[in-house]
Amino acid sequence: MENQDQPGWAFNRGGEMSRGKTIALWVVSGLVAALFLFAGGSKLIAPQMAKTGFIQAGYAAWFATFIGICEVLGAIGLLIPRVAGLAAACLSVIMVGATYTVIARLHQPAQAATPIIVFCLLIFISYTRFKTPQGASARAASPGN
């Protein structure tokens, strides 16, 4: 059972995540990274199909390439611990746009569940990565502590 006075829900008194929660974070990060690598990669590998979809949604054709690049770079960023929180935050902005597009521009609110779920996973990753104290083990080893 976890104490309520801990610095964050995923951290022990030393400011480090438990092994199980670290594994869960890496599994979620890996799966979301794979999703964005596939989604962004498909926009870059088959640009005509992606551009057609973006034009039908009312966006400029070049925007498909831009989003594809952002998704691939964000997927790579999710796997680098120092930038994973920022990458997740940036990708969550794309998911807000995807939700808006599906609901307001394509008029398919039933399809909005996927970007909303991915958004929630990205917020989890971002929160957990930003909450992780940087250099917690280095501070514990310093003579002043």
Q: How far apart are CA 38 and CA 31, in angstroms?
A: 11
pLDDT in tens, 4-16: 444 455 555 556 7
**Average pLDDT, rounded, for the chain:** 87
Average confidence (pLDDT) over 115-136: 87
- What is the three-class DSSP state of 4? coil
The pTM of this model reads 0.81
pLDDT, tens digit (0-9, with 9 covering 90-100), for 25-82: 999 999 999 999 999 999 999 999 999 999 999 999 999 999 999 999 999 999 999 9
The pLDDT score that the predictor gives to residue 11 is: 55
The DSSP output letter for 109 is G
Contacts 24+ apart (CB under 8 A), 101-105: 101/57, 101/59, 105/57, 105/58
